[in-house]
Amino acid sequence: MKASPKYIMQLIPKIENVIWKEFSSYKNVEGYIRRWHEESGYYENFNIATKDDGNIDLASTLRGIQDDELLFRIAVDVGIEIPDLVYSIPEIKGILASDYKIAASTFENALRKVDSEPATSVCCANSALESIIKHICQDETMEKCNPNNTLYDLVQHVLKEFKLYPCKDMESEIRNIGSSLLAVAQNIEAMRSKHADTSHGKTSDDYIIDNELYSKFILNAVTTVGLFLLNFYEKIYLPNKANLPSAQEDIPF
């Protein structure tokens, strides 16, 4: 997620100050920064700058990081609040990139357009979550979902497969999780259909999303729901398909 150059230049000294307070010595500061450093052949994600005495030049190193998302991750790691940042974006991007190619591409499009084209971003975020669920439901141990279903129906389907679909004999906390996931899906779909998708006979009197506050909110919601479904699936279904959750007590929380 790109931020304004002014914001980045104001953020860097804050990160620098907190790192020095936290780790205090050159050795520890460099050790911390090297945890973020990636190098392979001719590639490195950023250069670790040094002073004449060989010690790390933290300010120059941070200024040299061109990946805003990496700076945000460092800031969050040391306890600096980043307004409007979807904190779980790096995690879901990593999961999607490895096994969920269609969802990853759609999610990236939603992320790129979250500020410039809010309505398009909402449509892409909705589609990305649909793709995640469709991919999960290709698992041979699950009942296949209808590929023509929209988001709300897909969420109903996957919750039933996960045995999280709300019913009266569940613990109230688990039932509330399922109900909340359904409510989120229903409202994301409604927002996309009524206020974002301009291809279905919208008139000049219809409200179309033109404010990034909505697209950021939807992207946050999609990221949260998507990560929950992905992590639940990969933790419970992938390691040992012979031991699938058969009852409420098998839910991993």
Q: Per-residue DSSP letters for 159-198?
A: HHHTT-S--TTS-HHHHHHHHHHHHHHHHHHHHHHHHT-T
Domain that holds residue 43: 5-77
Average pLDDT over residues 6-33: 94
pLDDT in tens, 126-140: 999 999 999 999 888
DSSP string, 43-83: EESS---B-TTSSB-HHHHHHT---HHHHHHHHHHTT---T
- Give yes or no: residues 134 and 38 share one domain: no
Do both 60 and 103 map to the same domain?
Answer: no
**For residue range 198-214, what is the model confidence (pLDDT) as tens digits?**
554 444 455 567 778 78
Residue 56 one-letter amino acid: I
Beta bridge mates, 40: 43
Are 66 and 149 in a shared domain? no
Between 82 and 67, the higher pLDDT residue: 67
Residue 50 lies in a domain: yes
Dihedral over alpha carbons 163, 134, 108, 84 (to 10 degrees): -30
Q: 77, 99, 122 — which closes off a domain? A: 77
pTM of the model: 0.62
Question: How much is the average pLDDT of 232-253?
Answer: 59
Domain shared by 71 and 177, yes or no: no
The answer to whether position 126 is within a domain reads: yes
Q: Which of 54, 77, 100 is the last residue of a domain?
A: 77
State whether 241 and 152 are in the same domain.
yes
Residue type, 247: A
pLDDT at res. 252: 44
Q: Phi then psi for 40, rounded to 5 degrees?
A: -150, 110
User: What is the Cα–Cα distance from 13 to 20, expressed in whole angstroms?
Assistant: 11
Q: Are residues 154 and 100 in the same domain?
A: yes
Beta carbons within 10 angstroms of residue 240's beta carbon = 8
Q: Which of 223, 194, 219, 192 is nearest to 206 (CA)?
A: 194
Number of domains in the chain: 2
**65 and 148 within one domain:** no
Lowest mean pLDDT among 65-79, 86-100, 112-126, 163-177: 86-100
Task: Tell me: pLDDT of 1 over 60.
Answer: no
Which one is predicted more confidently, 208 or 10?
10
Task: Count Cβ atoms below 10 Å from residue 64 Cβ, excluding itself.
Answer: 12
The pLDDT score that the predictor gives to residue 198 is 54
- φ, ψ at 11 (rounded to 5°): -75, -40
Whether residues 141 and 217 share a domain: the answer is yes
pLDDT band at 248 (very low <50, low <70, confident <90, very high): very low
pLDDT of the residue at 161: 93
Q: For the chain, what percent of residues have pLDDT higher than 70?
A: 84
Average pLDDT of the residues in 20-27: 95
| 83 occurs within a structural domain | no
The Cα 211–Cα 205 span in angstroms is 17
Report angle CA 219, 198, 215 to the nearest 5 degrees: 15
117 within domain boundaries: yes
Q: Does residue 215 sit in the same domain as residue 106? A: yes
Domain boundary among 55, 77, 99: 77
- Shared domain check, 97 and 28: no
Strand partners, 43: 40
Residues 6 or more apart whose Cβ sits within 8 Å of residue 48: 30, 33, 34, 37, 56, 61
pLDDT-derived band at 246, boundaries 50, 70, 90: very low
- Has residue 82 been placed in a domain? no
Spell out a b/e string for 172-181, using b for 16 or more CB atoms within 10 Å of the CB, else e.
eebbebbeeb
Q: What is the mean pLDDT of the chain?
A: 84
Residues 174-191, mean pLDDT to the nearest whole number: 91
* 142 and 63 co-located in one domain: no
Task: Tell me if 234 is assigned to some domain.
Answer: yes
Q: Is residue 84 part of a domain?
A: no
Range of 75-79, 113-117, 167-171, 246-250 with top mean pLDDT: 167-171
- Residue length of the chain: 253
91-108 per-position pLDDT tens digit: 787 788 778 888 888 988
Tell me: do 127 and 241 sit in the same domain.
yes
